[in-house]
């Protein structure tokens, strides 16, 4: 963290960053993040012990409720306002044949989100979450409409197989996009958020980020994305290797990694994680792309990890490696690999169920149910 701040200050001194606002907002957000202490005074466990159920019988639901209440700082915390942020951006590397879909699908899917016809739109309605779509860097223009935030850093990234995805200034700006949209929506009420993504070819920069920040072999973190065949995967691995060789991202500097081989929507998701942590708001991270972004956020400020809950294990190659790096165990394993925030929204419903169970269930006393017999009682018999 100290090294990162030193590099940020150096950029300001060298006037590589042209606005004081950019640096001030990022630094202010980072400095506002506090470590989470899990059930520091034992009040959460005490309440669970009094509930009219056998101890530990709710399994991981108890874990989720404990994490949520600890982040919020009270065992009485409830969930009323749920928001899923679907961050969209295009990638120059799509020209290298790393996706089976053309780049214009990003633009088309943004419209589908706004029309309410996408999978994440349907699942969000199912769990009662509000969808916020963010144009972080789509290679198209959109008319301002409800539900869309236009925060375009640029019209897509550069082709990482030929040079950096973006400048360092743009990388910081992409982080700022996530911070901005969180701060704006926080005013409307937000108890928990889910992250989502849309960007044709974005599993390629995500694989590059995960390889860089975990040290894993490219073959272990590069998958089929939207449906590549074996030859397509081989080409994708070669493209990522070329990108890493040409750009030489510094694994000790997460902003350098983001700028060299990342994406605008990936930076936006990382910024969301930073902002949410600074506001003590739990973040349910989606699949492969969101987890790559979470690695960036945690490398910038490790305390962010305390606020992250992994929603599901994607079938995309390398997701489990990224989760291991974050030391996270996903809630679901449904064979999902869609993105958009779909897995995160589903898991959000389970987290809400755990919190409702914890806060609304009757105690042994309230329900007039006998408490468990003690070990001494069993011994006496």
Which of 62, 185, 301, 340 is labelled catalytic?
A: 340
| Residue 85 forms part of a structural domain | yes
What residues have CB less than 8 Å from 258, skipping those under 6 apart?
165, 166, 171, 174, 175, 209, 266, 267, 270, 296
Domain limits for position 219: 2-38+76-359
Distance CA 139, CA 157 (A): 9
**pLDDT value, residue 89:** 98
**pLDDT value, residue 7:** 53
Query: Cα angle at 329 between 318 and 2, to 5 degrees?
Result: 75
Give the global pTM: 0.92
The strand pair at 283-285 and 148-150 is best described as unpaired
Distance CA 249, CA 160 (A): 11
| Residue 302 forms part of a structural domain | yes
**pLDDT value, residue 11:** 44
> Strand, helix or coil at 248?
coil
**pLDDT value, residue 278:** 98
**pLDDT value, residue 368:** 86
| Residue 67 forms part of a structural domain | no
CATH number at residue 338: 3.40.50.10210
Distance CA 251, CA 315 (A): 25
Burial degree of 241 (CB within 10 A; 0-12, 13-18, 19+): middle
**pLDDT value, residue 14:** 41
Query: DSSP alpha helices (H): ranges in the chain?
Result: 2-13, 20-31, 43-50, 60-72, 104-115, 119-127, 168-186, 203-214, 218-221, 230-247, 254-261, 264-278, 288-300, 319-326, 342-360, 364-367, 375-380
**pLDDT value, residue 23:** 55
| Residue 119 forms part of a structural domain | yes
What residues have CB less than 8 Å from 112, skipping those under 6 apart?
118, 121
- Kindly write down the DSSP assignment for every residue of 293-325, as one continuous string: HHHHHHHH-GGGGGGEEE-B--SSTTHHHHHHH
**pLDDT value, residue 325:** 98
pLDDT tens digit string along 286-306?
999 999 999 999 999 999 999
Query: Cα angle at 288 between 283 and 292, to 5 degrees?
Result: 70
Domain count, the chain: 1
| Residue 299 forms part of a structural domain | yes
Distance CA 219, CA 196 (A): 25
Positions of the chain with pLDDT under 50: 9-22, 375, 378, 380-381
**pLDDT value, residue 19:** 39
| Residue 54 forms part of a structural domain | no
**pLDDT value, residue 372:** 83
pLDDT tens digit string along 123-173?
999 999 999 999 999 999 999 999 999 999 999 999 999 999 999 999 999
Residue 340 bears catalytic tag = yes
**Is residue 165 within 8 Å of 296, Cβ to Cβ?**
no
């Amino acid at each position: 963290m100290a090294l990162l701040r030193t590099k940020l200050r150096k950029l300001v001194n060298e006037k590589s960053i042209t606005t004081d606002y950019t640096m001030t907002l990022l630094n202010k957000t980072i400095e506002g993040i506090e470590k989470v202490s899990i059930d520091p005074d034992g009040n959460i466990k005490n309440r669970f012990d009094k509930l009219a159920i056998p101890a530990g019988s709710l399994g991981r639901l108890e874990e989720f409720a404990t994490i949520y209440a600890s982040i919020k700082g009270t065992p009485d915390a409830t969930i009323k306002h749920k928001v899923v942020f679907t961050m969209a951006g295009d990638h120059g590397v799509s020209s290298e044949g790393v996706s089976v879909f053309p780049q214009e699908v990003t633009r088309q899917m943004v419209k589908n989100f706004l029309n309410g016809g996408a999978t994440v739109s349907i699942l969000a309605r199912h769990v009662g979450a509000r969808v916020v779509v963010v144009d972080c860097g789509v290679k198209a223009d959109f008319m301002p409409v409800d539900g869309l935030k236009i925060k375009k850093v640029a019209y897509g990234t550069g082709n990482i197989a030929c040079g950096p995805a973006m400048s360092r200034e743009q990388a910081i700006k992409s982080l700022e996009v996530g911070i901005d949209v969180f701060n704006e929506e926080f005013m409307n009420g937000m108890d928990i958020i889910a992250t989502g993504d849309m960007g044709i070819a974005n599993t390629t920069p995500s694989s590059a980020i995960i390889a860089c920040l975990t040290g894993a072999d490219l073959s272990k973190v590069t998958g089929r994305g939207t449906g590549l065949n074996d030859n397509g995967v081989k080409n994708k691995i070669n493209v990522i290797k070329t990108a890493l060789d040409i750009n030489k991202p510094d694994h000790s500097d997460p902003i350098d990694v983001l700028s060299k081989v990342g994406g605008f929507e990936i930076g936006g998701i990382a910024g969301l994680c930073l902002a949410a942590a600074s506001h003590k708001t739990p973040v349910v991270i989606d699949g492969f792309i969101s987890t790559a972004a979470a690695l960036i956020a945690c490398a910038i400020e490790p305390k962010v990890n305390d606020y992250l809950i992994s929603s599901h294990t994607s079938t995309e190659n390398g997701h489990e490696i990224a989760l291991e790096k974050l030391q996270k165990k996903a809630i679901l394993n449904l064979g999902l690999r869609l993105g958009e925030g779909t897995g995160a929204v589903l898991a959000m419903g389970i987290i809400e169920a755990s919190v409702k169970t914890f806060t609304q269930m009757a105690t042994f006393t309230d329900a007039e149910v006998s408490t468990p017999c003690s070990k001494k009682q069993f011994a006496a018999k």
